[in-house]
Structure 1
């Protein structure tokens, strides 16, 4: 099976849900709310997909970037039955190629996924901070 990896526009919420729902990332995303998922996609300016020979979406990278300094990878998912084939590395490499040499990719890994990101060449830091979406001042 060959994998075709490319930047895409117009990815649908239904395709996103089908892919992410079959990955470890699924339980952490609002997959039951396709309107919200579509808004997430519409407001992302870099979507890289991995599709198999049949055109089925087997992985994705969703990011927001200024194209010059930083790209925040909001989602990196590979469907469970396609994992272990290098698809995650291919997605990260394609996103890096599209962004060019002046742009850094940052992400928050799911607990337990740190080893994968180290293995594909990302540097781990202990200086990440976030404010949870439920936090209200």
Structure 2
């Protein structure tokens, strides 16, 4: 089944929940809070999607960027039923093409996902720091 990859400006919380909930990223996101998810989607500068022939969302890249130097990838998720078909790497490549050669993409990998990011050519560093949120709902 061929997938359609596109930059989208409006993705619904319901689509996000269906896709991300069917991925390993799901347990780390507030899937029970559609209002917060919609705010996350609406606040994103770059959303790239992979949809199947029914229009169902099977993969998503969600990022925040200044369009000149860096893009922070907040989500790269592929529904488990679509994994192993280069969906994640195609989402990353599509985002990189939209951003252009002057913009780096930075992300925090889930534990255990480092091998995937190495396989698609991302550089790993140990100099990551973050301040965690206190509200996870």
TM-score (normalizing by structure 1) = 0.97
Distance in 1 (alpha carbons) for counterparts of 2:126 and 2:93: 24
Q: How many residues align?
A: 135
Measure how far apart 1:70 and its partner are.
0.2
Counterpart position of 1:87 = 87
Distance in 1 separating the partners of 2:106 and 2:66: 13
Alignment of 1:65-76 (within 5 A): 65-76=65-76
Structure 1 residue 134: deviation in Å? 2.0
3-state SS of paired residue (2:88): helix
5 Å matches for 1:113-128?
A: 113-128=113-128
Corresponding residue of 2:101: 101
Whole-Å separation in 1 of the counterparts to 2:126 and 2:10 = 35
Q: Could you tell me how far 1:102 is from its partner in structure 2?
A: 0.3
Structure 2 unaligned runs (5+)? none
CA distance in 2 between partners of 1:83 and 1:59 (Å): 9
Dislocated runs of 4+, deviation >4 Å:
none
- 1:1-137 map, 5 Å: 1-134=1-134
Unaligned 5+ segments in structure 1 are none
